[in-house]
Amino acid sequence: MTLVSEVRLRQILDSRGNRTVEADVVTESGGFGRAAAPSGASTGEYEAIELDPSEAIASAREHAVPRLEGSVFVGDQRDVDRTLRAADGTDDFSEIGANSAVAISMAAAKAAADVIGAPLYQHLGGAFRGEEFPTPLGNVVGGGEHAADATAIQEFLSVPVGAPSVQDAVFANAAVHSAVHDLLDERDIAAGKGDEGAWAPSIDDDEAFEIVAEATDTVADEFGFDVRFGLDVAASEMYDDDAEEYAYRDTTRSTDEQIDYIADLVDEYDLAYVEDPLDENDYEGFAELTQRVGDRTLVCGDDLFVTNVERLRAGIEQGAGNSILVKPNQIGTLSDAVDAVELAVESGYEPVISHRSGETEDTTIAHLAVATGAPYIKTGAVGGERTAKLNELIRIEQNVSRL
C-alpha cells in the first residue's frame, strides 16, 4: 500500500531567497508527501554536507530515486533512510547532498502519514503521542552570522517556561518580540530584522541583556506566567583557533574567561538555556561549564553534536552539556535525528528540535517535536517560515492538524 511509485525533486526558494531542494513522494495507493530542506548560516564543521541544490537534485535522481521507486515502502521509515544512505555511499551525504536526503526522508514520512490518514506526528510517534508539547524557544534579538553589525551573541531566546499551553507560549514569545521593539524605540535604537526574524539592532550584548530581561519580565506580568530567556552564543563563529580566544564586539575572552562569563550570565539573568557557549571542538570546556551551571540551566550542544549520535556519545561520556539541538538536515535523515533524540533521552540529555536560519514553510519539525515528546523546540518567534511551525503546533494541540 505504501510502496513508493514516484519521487519528484525541484528547486524552490528558502526564506533568505536562496534555492533549496523540495521533494514530493507519491505512493502506489496515491499517498502524497512534500517536504523541503532548510539551510544553515552558522553551520557546524561536522554537519552532513549540503550540496548546491541543482547538483544535489541531479545526484539524487541518479543514485537515490531509482532505488526508492517501486522498491521501498514509505511506511518503513528506517528502510527509506537506509536506502538513502546506501544510495549515497558516504558518511556525510556528500554524494547526493544532505539537502536532497532530508527532503526525501521527510516527504516519505508525510506520504506514509497520508496513506494511513493520520497526522504526521502520530505516524512518527505512535497513537499515544500528542498529549505533551514542547516549549518554544523564540528568537527575539540576534546578530552573529544572522545579521551584520548587531549583537555578537547570535540569538537571545524567549523561553516561556510557565505557559499553560503551546498556544500561550507562542503568543508570549511574539509578545516578547514586540516588547523588545518598544524598548528599542524608547531608546531611539533603530533595528531591522535578522535571518530568523529577530531584531538586529547595532547594540552590544550588555544592552541586549538589559532589554530582553525587561521585555520578558513585562510579558510575564502581562500573561501571568513565568517567562525566562536563554542564548545561542554560536561560539564557534567567534572562536579564533590560532589565538585560542573568543572575539566579541570590543573585547576577547580566553576559554577560561568565556566559561566564567557564561556562568555569571546564567546567574545574573537566571538563564534557562545556553546553546553553544564554547567552540565545537571543546568538549572539555562544555563539561566544565556543565559542571558549574548544569543543575540550573540547559547547556545545549548544536555545532558540538550536529545531531550525530557518535558525537553525542562522546559528549555523554565526558559530561559535556545536558542538552542537544536536533536538526534533521545536519545529519540527513529523520531516522538519524530520532536516534539522536532517543540516545539523548536515555542519557538524561534534553532534546531541542530546531529549525535552521534558512527555512521554508515546511512544518515537519513541529510534528517531529510532538512525535518524540521533545521538551523544547527552537523555531523563531515571528515571520512566515517560523510561524508555519508555531501555528502547526497550535493546530496539533487542538487536534486539528491535517498534515
Please indicate if the annotation marks 389 as binding a ligand.
no
Residue 55 labelled as part of a binding site = no
* Cα 34 from Cα 71, distance rounded (Å): 19
C-alpha distances (whole Å) from 93 to each of 97, 199, 270, 309, 392 are 5, 34, 40, 16, 29
In whole angstroms, the minimum distance from the beta carbon of 26 to ligand 2PG comes to 30
- What, of Mg ion, ligand 2PG, none, does residue 336 touch, CB below 5 to 8 Å by kind? none
Going edge to edge, which strands form the sheet with 245-247?
Answer: 239-240, 245-247, 252-254
The SS3 of residue 231 is strand
The verdict on whether residue 327 carries a ligand-binding annotation is yes
Q: How far is the CB of 138 from ligand 2PG (least distance, A)?
A: 11
Distant-in-sequence, close-in-space partners of 358: CB < 8 Å, separation ≥ 6: 14, 15, 16, 18, 20, 38, 39, 40, 41, 195
Which of 14, 81, 114, 232: binder of ligand 2PG (CB under 6 A)?
232
Among ligand 2PG, Mg ion, none, residue 134 binds (CB under 5-8 Å by kind): none
- Asked whether position 232 contacts Mg ion by CB under 5 A, the answer is yes
**Residue 130, contacted partner among ligand 2PG, Mg ion, none, CB below 5-8 A by kind:** none
Under 8 Å between Cβ of 333 and 72:
no
CB of 40 to ligand 2PG, least distance (A): 3
Classify residue 153 by its DSSP letter. Answer: S
Task: List the single partner that 129 binds among Mg ion, ligand 2PG, none, CB under 5 to 8 Å by kind.
Answer: none
Residues belonging to the active site: 196, 327
Residue 302 annotated as lining a ligand binding site = yes
Does 302 participate in binding Mg ion (rule CB under 5 A)? Answer: yes
How far is Cα 249 from Cα 264, in angstroms, rounded to an integer? Answer: 19
Task: Say whether residue 41 binds ligand 2PG (CB under 6 A).
Answer: yes
Which residue in 380, 388, 402, 344 sits closest to 157, CA to CA? Answer: 380
Rounded to 10 deg, the angle between the 364-372 and 98-116 helix axes is: 70
Chain residues 113-172 in contact with Mg ion, contact rule CB under 5 A: none
Q: Least Å distance between CB 84 and ligand 2PG? A: 22
One of 323, 357, 363, 372 touching ligand 2PG (CB under 6 A) = 357
Asked if 302 interacts with ligand 2PG (CB under 6 A), we say: yes
Residue 359 assigned to a binding site: no
Q: Tell me which residues touch Mg ion (CB under 5 A).
A: 232, 302
